[in-house]
Every structure is written in structure tokens, then in C-alpha cells.
């Protein structure tokens, strides 16, 4: 591994996230991401509230460092992706979804960052009803619909967005006036344009069914 911090512990890496040297912060975030992917036992340490607080602080303080944000979004996605809902609930209660939305809005022209942000939101959205309600209250649904409208040609963004809609529309949420028609138009366009995309072909019909029934 070329990362000079590859052998450091989670606790050491969390401290390095506050380092004044930008390169050190990036290396620390990349090493944490690698641990989250490859070391399940240590991943639990990253999922603790104290650790996540340090990770989310990076989003608040280093919002212009795109490379760093890529690593942080990946960490959040991996922490949220486990079978247990505890990590997802912790992330929602700590406001991770609003932090992600804020960063995505700040970098609205960066499609790769939008894609990674959506992937993290998609994992967080697979929560229970109360947690999904908090995501909806944070305007996640309207943000995703707006992004789908702006990135109609991007199959990856359309696919992940449809999967998020599938999760959020399962929470007894009533779409606002006009929002339902917009969602139907966007999802039907995605299904028509990207019928070979696995996520769209799987989630699209279910989302349409829920929209038409709402």
C-alpha cells in the first residue's frame, strides 16, 4: 500500500483527520476507507459515534476538497451498508444525510461526487420508517428529484436515484402537489431511456406502482 498511514490504528487516523497538512488528512481518510472495506472488526470502531463525529466534521470543514470528500462519502456508505440498522440510525441522528446533501449541492456540477453522495444516501435510506421520515423532512426526496431532472443523461445517477425513491416512498409519505407528477415523469423517462440498467429495471416498476397508488 502506498498510503504512509496504512498501518496506523483507527484512533490514530481519526486524530490525523484534524491535521493541518491537507495531504495527511487525505491519507488518513483513505486509510480509514480501506479499513472500512477490508477489516470488519475495525469497521465497528469507525461506526462508533465518536469516530463518525470526526468523519462528519471533515465534511463541515473541508467541503472544497473533492478528493477528501470522495473518501468520506465512501466511509459513510460502507458504515451504513451493514445488515444491522444501528449504524444507519446513528448516521441519521447525527445528521449525516443533511451533511451529504449540503456537499452535493455545493458541488452540483461534479457528477462523480453526486454519484458517490447518492450511493451513501441510498444505504442510509434503507432504514426503518422513522429514520426514512427524517430523510424526507430534510428534503432528500425533492433534492433527488431535482438531481434526476438535471442529470437525465446519466444512467448511474438515475439508477441510484430510483433506488432511493423506492426506499423513501415506502414510508407512507404523501408527495406534495406537483411532486408526484414530476416523479412519475422522471422515473418513467429513466425506465424508458435506461431499460438495460439493472437498478432501474429492478426498482423502476416498483417505484411507478407506488407513485401511481399514492
What pLDDT, in 10s, does the model give residues 11-20? 999 999 999 9
Task: State how far the Cα of 98 lies from the Cα of 105, in Å rounded to an integer.
Answer: 10
Q: Give the SS3 label for residue 208.
A: helix
pLDDT-based confidence at 177, cuts 50/70/90? confident
CA dihedral 123, 39, 85, 18 (to 10 degrees): -70
Helix axes 129-137 and 111-125, enclosed angle (nearest 10): 140
How would DSSP label each residue in 121-181? Answer: HHHHHSS-HHHHHHHHHTTHHHHHHHHHHHTTT-HHHHHHHHHHHHHHTTS-PPPPTTHHH
Contact call for residues 114 and 138 (beta carbons, < 8 A): no
pTM summary value = 0.94
Of 9-23, 68-82, 127-141, 197-211, the least confident: 127-141
pLDDT-based confidence at 1, cuts 50/70/90? low
Mean pLDDT of the chain: 93
CA dihedral 183, 198, 120, 93 (to 10 degrees): 60
The arithmetic mean of pLDDT across residues 189-205, rounded, is 96
Residue 171 has pLDDT above 80, yes or no: no
Contact call for residues 147 and 153 (beta carbons, < 8 A): no
The CA–CA distances, whole Å, from 81 to 73, 78, 121, 211, 213 equal: 12, 5, 10, 26, 29
Amino acid at each position: 500500500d502506498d498510503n504512509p498511514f496504512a498501518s496506523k490504528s483507527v484512533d490514530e487516523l481519526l486524530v490525523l483527520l484534524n491535521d493541518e497538512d491537507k495531504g495527511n488528512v487525505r491519507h488518513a481518510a483513505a486509510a480509514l476507507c480501506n479499513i472500512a472495506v477490508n477489516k470488519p472488526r475495525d469497521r465497528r470502531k469507525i461506526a462508533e459515534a465518536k469516530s463518525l463525529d470526526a468523519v462528519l466534521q471533515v465534511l463541515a470543514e473541508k467541503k472544497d476538497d473533492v478528493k477528501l470528500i470522495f473518501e468520506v462519502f465512501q466511509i459513510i456508505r460502507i458504515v451504513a451498508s451493514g445488515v444491522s440498522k444501528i449504524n444507519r440510525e446513528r448516521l441519521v441522528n447525527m445528521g449525516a444525510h443533511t451533511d451529504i446533501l449540503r456537499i452535493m449541492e455545493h458541488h452540483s456540477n461534479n457528477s462523480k461526487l453526486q454519484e458517490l453522495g447518492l450511493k451513501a444516501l441510498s444505504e442510509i435510506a434503507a432504514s426503518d420508517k422513522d429514520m426514512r421520515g427524517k430523510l424526507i423532512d430534510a428534503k432528500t426526496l425533492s433534492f433527488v428529484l431535482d438531481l434526476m431532472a438535471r442529470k437525465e443523461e446519466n444512467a448511474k445517477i438515475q439508477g441510484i436515484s430510483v433506488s432511493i425513491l423506492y426506499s423513501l416512498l415506502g414510508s407512507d409519505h404523501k408527495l406534495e402537489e406537483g411532486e408526484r407528477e414530476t416523479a412519475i415523469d422522471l422515473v418513467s423517462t429513466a425506465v424508458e431511456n435506461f431499460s438495460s440498467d439493472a437498478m432501474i429495471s429492478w426498482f423502476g416498476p416498483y417505484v411507478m406502482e407506488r407513485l401511481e397508488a399514492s
